[in-house]
Structure 1
Amino acid sequence: MQPPLAADQRQAPMPGDDLLRSLIFPAAVERQIDNSTGTSSFDSSPKHLNSTLQEQHIQEQLLADMEVERATVPPPPALQGLSHGQHAADSVSNNAALGQISSVDDYLAQPMPVSTSSNSGPKAIATGIRSSANIMAVNEKYQLLALPRPDFIYDGSTFGGWSVKTSFLGHDLQEAGPYANKQEAKDVLSGRVLAIITALESEGKLQKSGKSKKKTNGVGSDYNLQSEKDQDQGPQENFIGQLLEFQNSTRCPPPVYQEYALGQNYACILTLRAYNPESATGSTETGPLTFGSMAELRSSKKAARQNAARLGVEYYKNRGVWPKMEDGGEHGNGGPGMGIRRKKVQAQNQAQGLTTATSSPGANAAPPSTNNSTSSSYAARVASLAQNTLAFPPPEYKYADDGVANFHTVACYFRGVAGHEGPIGEVRHVFGKKKAKEECAKLVLEYLLAVKEKRLRDFGMAGGDAKMHVQEGEEEEEDAFEDAVEDI
């Protein structure tokens, strides 16, 4: 315990010391001593006086400890200029410092300070751009130049973003993004498409589409576009019909045309199984040939097909297998566009057979022939010959699906006739159902005429065999003919 300070070293009492002393020493135990007289109101007996002195000593010791602790604590900032023992109310120089202290009401009445910090609140985040400037501009170019509209293919999701790609005039374009929505991705990629169109326009490869056929309809020279008027200079030829007739005359499948559209223009590629006279069968090449290109554009589908067929005809002419004028080619069958006709070798054979039949003794017994009925169709002649002469049932024509529109495969059947049930006269890949039936009937007629001649030879009606000379009249002769039909 530290010794008590002397009377001259003690500090002057500070405001609140009396309150502190009353809290430490209650009034019940506090004693008041009259310093002026030196007397006390308590009993002055030795025992009581000793107790009073002890209490006084303890009180002085506690006050000394309080003064030591107060000396070690620094004074408040507003009171640093005050010396020990000087009260704030007695110093005029400290009034300014005390005036800086404001009350609670004054503090609440002050305006709130405005914060200038950059992190004062949440920032807005850009979610996407809504613009259709490039889309609108490129759509105008499509219409003005008659260009095809490309297909935009999107990939992605709403949360991960979108990417887009397309193909335009041989250019593969792609924008990986990611973009917030599909419209934003399409607008960006449309800007690149617009740049390609603008570059082609500046190079003169793209021109405005006009109503006249003389113009190029928006596609430049790189696409080799010709109008119908320019490509039909001179006498018009039906290359499509000529090529089809030649394929039919050589027993080859008909040509197949694959059409393509590029905006308002068209291209066509011809697939042809060409006639090969040097082959063993004289039928077709080992594989199909193609003519035409997607870069050769025309203003209509018919003009595109005509161009592809013209290339096929030129192929035959260069090989030297195209018929000459005397054979029915090169407008040899009655003028331009009349096509090519097959030589009718069978007609000569039929005429020779008729001459032989009429020169035989039993020629009068033969059923009437229908070969001279050139005005009727082949199908009608087949039905008449089969039913009236050979006692066959009516012919049945069965069609097979070729997988190509308007092309047919057909064959003839005679139900219940042993050895002649069919298929007979089958033709493949003929354009048009009626045309296919006629081609089949033409072959069936040749077959039935051969059957008729064979019957005449077997029974001696064409060679003068004496076994068939009937002496019992026309009834027995007819019975013999019917028996022969049943045997066949």
Structure 2
Amino acid sequence: MCSLKRKLSGMSSPNATLDFVPPPSAQYAQDVPMPGSEAHASVQDYSNLQSLDDFMRENPFAPKEKRVPAWAVPVNPEYSIKFNDLCVKHFIVPAFEYDMPHQQCETVSVQFGDRKVDATGPFASKKHAKEEVCKLAWPQLLEMDEHLQNKRKRPEPPQSYSGGIDSELLAAENFIGLLQEYTQANRQGSPIYEDSRTITTPIRFSCTVRIEDIPGTPLGSSTDFYQSKQEAKRAAAREAVLWLRSQGKMHPAPPSVNKRLKLDQPFAMELSPKSTGLTQLVSNADLNPGAKTTSAARLHELAAVLGFRPPIYESHPSVPPRGKTMNAHEMNSAFIDMYVRFSDQDVQKDSRLAGPLGKVEHVHGRKTAKEQCCREAVRILEEIQRERAQES
């Protein structure tokens, strides 16, 4: 108690000072007028306020309506189906484009061939849009169908496409399997097939094949066309098998094959001891019973009778001769350079078989080139046959 008095007495002395600063809340309170005073009444004016009851009366509560999902409207795809079927018939691929900015299809278009049709919505769904644009495009597609039908009825020029090997010869052996087995047994890569097709209907197919034994030259024909890809592939594999047999790299065809083909071979039993025995190419030659024998078939027959190996055809793509006027078929087909050569063993037997024989250039079509280049070789073999007949 005494110490407190001493402190108070010290603070009451004339020399004592008191540094006291009021807090900010106290300073703000000095500026706020007291409730009930005139200053307070002028600042707080509530005359324009609305009561809560009046506000609720003027703005009654209205719950939001529940959204009911719209039921999907069924679509009858009549024109979509008809449009698609007719496009498939003529190998036409339609392209549909939909404009859907807000999950709703506004416009749709379809491109088919060189025609384009647009339809403006809005549409309930893409199915509705597709049906509508197909309905609009249907008359134009019918017009195209009629034009294509009339075009097919026109008589096609004869020999528009060169024919291939007879189906009976293609089915004589499993040439594709034989070629595959040969490449596997010799640790080679699989045969590489390259097929092509005609541009116009009816669609036809051709095929060539490459093997490691003769990598620079495709075997088969790009100008002989078949009704299916499989037939064209068999024809290419068949030529590869025949070439391998002519080189002595593959076993000859079994006798049952020749018997099934019903091709007469009386000369095969009369071969000289020097014969190679590779006479299977005669039975597999492209001969039609009763038809005129071609130079190529005659060449194979003479080679077998005289004991020579079957000849080898070397062909390369060429260009048309200068100044030649070509028709539409020739412009879409190949020109060939071709010649015939015999094996080294046969050249040692008769030097007249040396070198390329019957070389032809700029010939349109593989079959035509083959027929022309065989004529000189046939002439030489017939000369050899006559000399042997005179010696005997």
Name the TM-score, length of structure 1 as normaliser: 0.27
TM-score by length of 2: 0.32
